[in-house]
Structure 1
């Protein structure tokens, strides 16, 4: 939670420039509290695993979070029981039709990196989702393929195929330590990476966007898009300790050529139990995102998207 200081106290400006969470007394006095409405547009095949991962992160703050699960209207998953989908998920068409508004929306990744965006079966509806976020969502977080799709739609930044899979726990650099989204972050950190495509620094910067977290080895990771009230992350802070192991074991069992995920197992030995070295930064990032929403979203949901 923020520290409350008089806005004319010198420490207010000093701490603000350093990225410390501060709130003026007059702002605190008029701030009401209500549950934050966060939507999860889940494009991953293992819906329940993904729900758990994101709910764990956004539910770790002192604030009340109301989580709504959303799916693409016509796409049917083969990996999650139909009764689970029927009970807990609503199609985007229904959400849009009712005019609902959300303080935040997470758009997950999807295992379809090899496809050009227009070839994705639900691409047309996803374009509608992106447009809808500009009027019905206060802040959107695009994750992995979801982030790549958003940055492509809004800024025409392309994804590029990699000669081999970027796979493992990769060291990243904090480029913007004063960013409110990176409060409490170390100068560098380890983040799980699992993708066959990349986005390039020069093309992101040419679009006028700010890279917050970067890697010498796997390129940009976290990008801020203030004009669209969005963050794009291309790697996987939300992964559980064993997620990379599950992906590796799956590919080995299927006979798919795959490298041992780098810097994941002790001594890179897949017979060893992997160590989670990203959990604390994952909680920081999503906690900071939730806090930024809390500080800036209108109390009246009807005012979301009205400037």
Structure 2
């Protein structure tokens, strides 16, 4: 897909090396179709890695996409240079008067804190509230999904006895359009210390798209189709969990090796990627869905969202 991003973004050279099709601003300006405008709120410490992972997934579509990155201002970013943040990231004040076709809210390594104890919680709440009127569709990932479920629906998170770590299967429920083409059972990376209290899910407001008998729901969507919650990390690279495991080992943590990840569960035999195809398919389906329902004029999104909330349409 012709993805339009800043030419000197570090992710560009990596993606071009993978033959991901990118176009420059001059060529994009002469295309007749309107690009989709996506905003990525990147809460992960290593922002460049997350940029590459997400851009890799949203690039697999015939649609042209303009991508903006958003940073939290009420938090000190220690793992990404100030130069990179100033050059490639916007602040909420710069976007709050605009509309976007899609928003992606990433995970964050703060899940063992109460939501209200996270130093940027109020800013995140403001962004999530803004997204309900100014964005056609929102993806929430891992902790971002837990935060969204808590804020919008009052779904509490629960701590696990040990880190949920590895590749876990899940069963598709029904035939929702976002899971079109999915196998009945598919896999996704998980790396978290908390989950959600499934007993608090209101079936009148949320639909479970997939679940696992041991770890519960993994994909959920609001009944109006506006908010998608992904409790795992489809965006993860093949090596991401291995890097996390080696990091935890170096820190002296008692993290067990990620399950269903290494060949025959042996780190010496390499990694078996079980989730790549469904990761691309999920994001392809989401982009197609956004393209189908978003208005041509971005400034019509707030009115569309007001009608959506008034009607209370179900998916």
**Which bin holds the TM-score, normalised by the shorter protein?**
0.7 to 0.9
Match of 1:294 in 2: 291
Q: Specify the SS of the correspondent of 1:304.
A: helix
Tell me how far 1:213 sits from its aligned partner: 1.0
Residues 124-179 of structure 1 show CA distances to partners (whole Å, capped at 9, x for unaligned) of 11111011001211100000000110111011000000011111011110012x21
| Residue 83 of structure 1: how far off its partner (Å) | 0.8
State the match for 2:281 in structure 1. Answer: 284
Report how far residue 284 of structure 1 moved. Answer: 0.5
Number of aligned residue pairs: give it. 274
Q: For residues 280 and 295 of structure 1, what CA distance do their matches in structure 2 show?
A: 22
Superposition deviation, residue 218 in structure 1:
1.5
- Alignment partner for residue 263 of structure 1, among 239, 260, 278? 260
Moved over 4 A (4+): none
Q: Which runs of 5 or more structure 1 residues have no equivalent in the other structure?
A: 1-31
Give the 3-state SS of the residue equivalent to 1:212 in structure 2: strand
- Kindly indicate whether residue 192 of structure 2 is the aligned counterpart of residue 188 of structure 1: no
Q: Secondary structure at the match of 1:84?
A: helix
Match of 1:17 in 2: none
CA contact (8 A) 1:46 1:80 kept: yes
Deviation of 1:76 after TM superposition, in Å, equals 2.3
Picking from 228, 233, 236, the partner of 1:231 is 228
Q: Deviations over 1:19-53 (max 9, x none)?
A: xxxxxxxxxxxxx8310001000000010000011
Map of 2:94 onto structure 1: 94
TM-score for both structures, normalised by structure 2: 0.84
Q: Is the 8 A contact 1:70 1:92 kept in 2?
A: yes
CA pair 244-207 structure 1, distance change in 2 beyond 3 A: farther
**CA–CA distance in structure 2, aligned partners of residues 287 and 45 of structure 1:** 26
State the alpha-carbon separation in 1 of the partners of residues 233 and 123 from structure 2.
Answer: 24
Report what 2:141 is aligned to: 143
Hey, what does 1:21 align to over in structure 2? none
- The corresponding residue for 2:27 is none
- Superposed, 1:1-307 pairs within 5 Å as 33-96=33-96, 99-176=97-174, 178-205=175-202, 208-227=205-224, 229-307=226-304
After TM superposition, the score normalised by the length of structure 1 is 0.87
Where structure 2 has 5 or more consecutive residues not aligned to the other structure, the ranges are 1-31, 305-315
Contact 1:155–1:207 (CA under 8 A) maintained in structure 2: no
| Deviation by residue 1:49-73 (Cα, 9 ceiling, x = unmatched) | 0001111101110100111000012
SS at match of 1:138: strand
For the aligned residues, what is the CA RMSD? 1.4
